[in-house]
Structure 1
Amino acid sequence: MNLLIFGATGGTGRQLLTQALAQGHTVTAFARQPSTLPPAQAGLRIVQGNVLDYQAVQQVLPGHDAVLSALGAPGNQKDAVRSLGTRHILQAMEEAGVRRFVCLTTLGMGDSKAALPWVYSYFLVPLFLRHAFADSEIQEDYIRQSQADWTIARPATLTDGPRTGRYQQGFAATAKGLRMKISRADVADFMLGQLHDPAHLRQAVSLSY
């Protein structure tokens, strides 16, 4: 497929990029700072731009089969990178006639809130991640209201561990025995897997070991 990846310079975005190329996809990486990406290689096109600039998003989107987003920002950053960037992506997708959208958010959104460990609910989120979580909630609202064929990935705490292909997905917020962490490589594995699997179409899917 001809894929467009937003947030390709982040940890999960880099895994999406690497795995997508290894699977034989053609990839466009849209990045504000392309110099932080791997060198150009077969199947990879790098486009410099800011997801908060709608015209830049609008120009890069036509001709792609699917869009993957791993947009993120520091937890205390107040800029609406996730929500406004996603709104721009979805609007440009609709204009270009591109329907498949797989997006990274986080465990703790919507009906997965109860799955968060108490240290997140009562300490980390209120003190350090409040802006990030609020922006992600708005981001998910935009996705749900869109006409796209979307899937949302909601991972637990991200790690830099290897890709295992063995993880829990779509569990209830009350599920027991979860480790509440997952590698970025396995999150990318899940996200790319959705391109050919309609099982989670228009669903938000929790991920963890």
Structure 2
Amino acid sequence: MKLLIFGSTGSIGRQLVEQALAQGHTVTAFTRRLTVPEFSSHPGLILFQGDVLDFTSVKEAVKDQDVVLCALGAGRKGGTRSEGTQNIIRAMKAVGTKRFICQTTLGVGDSEGNLNVFWKYIMFGLLLKQAFVDHEIQEKYIQQSSLDWIIVRPAAFTDGERTGTYRHGFDGSAEGLTLKISRADVADFMLKQLTDDTYLHKTPGLSY
């Protein structure tokens, strides 16, 4: 398939690029700076330099893509994820690309019950409040769109290996979650949504 990845130089995005190329997909990595040297020689990789906040460049990148994946990051700041995602949605609607797989975070919406006191009140309530609100707005834009969307809500990232074994699609009262998931497994799950409609128009959580 022809895949476009936003946030391709981030910790999740790099995993998406690497695993997608290994699966034989043609990958367009959207990036502000052409800094993906470890993959730059791969015949299946196309580097597209642009700014997700610039609608014109986003629209150009979305043309002729089968699926768009989004793993935008902005640290603790707010705005970039939601505004960038709004541009992506507009561009996809304009060119007719339908399938959109986007990574947000566990704790948004009806997954709030999955969080413990530390994550609910210290991390998302204080330290990462701007980023969390940005994810909430990002999800609202996606859910209001007419796209074939899947929102993936992972727990806290770790640097572990890809295991392919994790819990997903649990409800807000699920017990026994570690509230951790490797970046490699986040990418693994997102790529499994390329053709699987189990979670179409849904917001599966992801954790060990």
In 2, the alpha carbon distance for the partners of 1:65 and 1:189 equals 18
SS of the equivalent of 1:200 reads coil
Alpha-carbon displacement from aligned partner over 1:105-141 (angstroms, at most 9, x marks no partner): 0001000011111101121122211100111000000
Please provide the CA RMSD for this pair. Answer: 0.9
CA distance in structure 2 between the aligned counterparts of 1:24 and 1:56, rounded to whole angstroms: 26
SS at match of 2:107: coil
Offset, 1:12: 0.6
- Structure 2 residue aligned with 1:66: 67
1:5-55, Cα deviation, whole Å (9 max, x unpaired): 000001110000000000000000000122245323210000111100111
Q: Structure 2 length as normaliser, TM-score?
A: 0.97
Q: Deviations over 1:34-83 (max 9, x none)?
A: 224532321000011110011110111111000000001111x24x1110
Task: State the distance in 2 between where 1:37 and 1:97 align.
Answer: 31
The 8 Å contact of residues 40 and 46 in structure 1, kept in 2 or not, is answered as no
CA distance in 1, matches of 2:55, 2:192: 28
Letter matched to residue 131 of structure 1: Q
1:185 alignment partner, SS class: helix
Q: Counterpart of 2:184 in structure 1: which amino acid?
A: A
Alignment match, 1:108: 107
Distance in 2, Cα, partners of 1:202 & 1:42:
33
Question: For 2:163, what is the secondary structure of its paired residue?
Answer: coil
Name the amino acid aligned to 2:14. R
Counterpart of 1:45 in structure 2: which amino acid?
A: I
1:129 counterpart residue number: 128
SS at match of 1:199: coil
Aligned length: 207
Q: Following the alignment from structure 2 to structure 1, what is the Cα–Cα distance between the partners of residues 110 and 198?
A: 19
Kept after mapping to 1: 8 A contact 2:9/2:35:
no
Q: Which residue of 1 aligns with 2:52?
A: 51
Residue 35 of structure 1 aligns with which residue? 35
CA–CA distance in 1 between the matches of 2:176 and 2:26? 38
Counterpart residue type for residue 13 of structure 1? G
In the aligned structure 2, how far is the partner of 1:37 from the partner of 1:94?
A: 31
Compute the TM-score of the two structures, normalised by the length of structure 1. 0.97
How big is each residue's C-alpha offset from its partner over 1:133-178, in whole Å with a ceiling of 9 and x where there is no partner? 1110000000000010000000001111000000000111111111
Secondary structure of the structure 1 residue equivalent to 2:35: helix
Distance 1:84 1:134, change over 3 A: same
- Runs (4+) of structure 1 exceeding 3 A deviation are none
Q: Does 1:24 align with 2:24?
A: yes
- Hey, what does 1:206 align to over in structure 2? 205
Segments of structure 2 that go 5 or more residues without pairing to the other structure are none
Does the 8 Å contact 1:11/1:184 carry over to 2? yes
- Alignment check: 8 A CA contact 2:114 2:173 kept: yes
Task: List runs of 5+ in structure 1 lacking aligned partners.
Answer: none
